[in-house]
Amino acid sequence: MFLIVGYVIILAASVGTYAVHGSLAALWVPMEYLAIVGLTIGGFVAGNDIKVIKATIAALPSLFKGSKFNKAAYVDLLAMLFEVLAKVRKEGLMSIENDVENPHDSPIFSKYPSISHDHHVMEFITDYLRMMVGGNLNALEIENLMDMEIETHHHEVEVPGHVMAKTGDATPAFGIVVAVMGVVNVMGSVGEPPAVLGKMIGGALVGTFLGILISYGFVQPVASLLEQKAHEGSKIYQVIKVVLLASMSGYAPQVAVEFGRKVLFSSDRPTFIELEEELKARKGK
């Protein structure tokens, strides 16, 4: 939503202010628009393999949706982990074997659809719970493995943002290419009247204008948002990591989830009292 609002402000501040003292018709040079868009898309396709192109296109719709990683989602996550670890502490590790092997049928996981419907998050949780059920774990080795998996995930989700940033960096240069092509066309028409030459030169300069506007006004904001989405989407794995490692180190479930709470961004972090009351309320259900 804010992306659209930003685009409207950008257009109003650029094209809108120009319209006050100039003719919008002078900016309408269809071939310049076609060339700029074509060069930008061509550079994007030529510079990336099919996996990156698909990942970038798939990530774009998320820009128009609110973040699913909010305080309510993290409270659900911590409550779910608390319930799993409390069951382990009370009944032993083997008691969660069926939950781990069949998470969609688990009476614990099914209570938290905001978490259980995220395939990647559930796979991360169940994989390490499965290792805990298997026993004989070295906490340092597991922590190292978790770090590498989180790093791999973060690298994958960062790719669309990096790709869009590079595409945005190239767009002003494409604008210069289009402008130079226009100037070459002007040079071949030096015998025309000044009014005609002026219109042709203005049309050539539109290429530079479009390249810079599209880059910094439209593509770079998308790249920035994609990078922000990637960062906020990695936090949940860090929370899961510290909670499970705390449990493996012998801490009680209540203390383990407190480790996870402290990892959260301040804007998404429930207070100690809020989390404690939420866990008590859900425990009574």
Per-residue pLDDT reduced to its tens digit, 107-154: 889 888 889 888 899 999 999 988 888 777 778 888 899 999 999 988
pLDDT value of residue 22: 74
Distance CA 284, CA 234 (A): 31
Residue range 234-255, pLDDT digits in tens? 899 999 999 999 998 889 999 9
Q: Per residue in 177-226, pLDDT tens?
A: 888 888 777 777 766 777 776 777 777 788 888 899 999 999 999 999 99
CB 131 within 8 A of CB 137: yes
Per-residue confidence (pLDDT) for residue 285, from 0 to 100: 55
- The mean pLDDT of the chain is 87
- Concatenating the DSSP letter of every residue in 69-87 gives -SHHHHHHHHHHHHHHHHH
Distance of CA 136 to the CA centre of its chain: 36
Residue 161 has pLDDT above 90, yes or no: yes
pLDDT band at 45 (very low <50, low <70, confident <90, very high): very high
| CA distances from residue 211 to 33, 39, 150 in whole angstroms, order as listed | 9, 10, 37
The predicted-structure confidence for 120-131, as pLDDT tens digits, reads as follows: 999 999 999 888
> Rounded CA gap, 1 and 6, in Å?
9
Beta-carbon contacts of 18 under 8 Å, excluding residues fewer than 6 positions away, are 24, 27
C-alpha–C-alpha distance, residues 174 and 213, integer Å: 12
**Percentage of residues in the chain with pLDDT exceeding 70?**
96
Backbone φ/ψ region at 136: left (φ over 0), alpha (ψ -120 to 50), beta:
left
Q: Specify the pLDDT at position 131.
A: 86
Residue 176 CB coordination number (10 Å): 13
Mean pLDDT, residues 4-15 taken together: 89
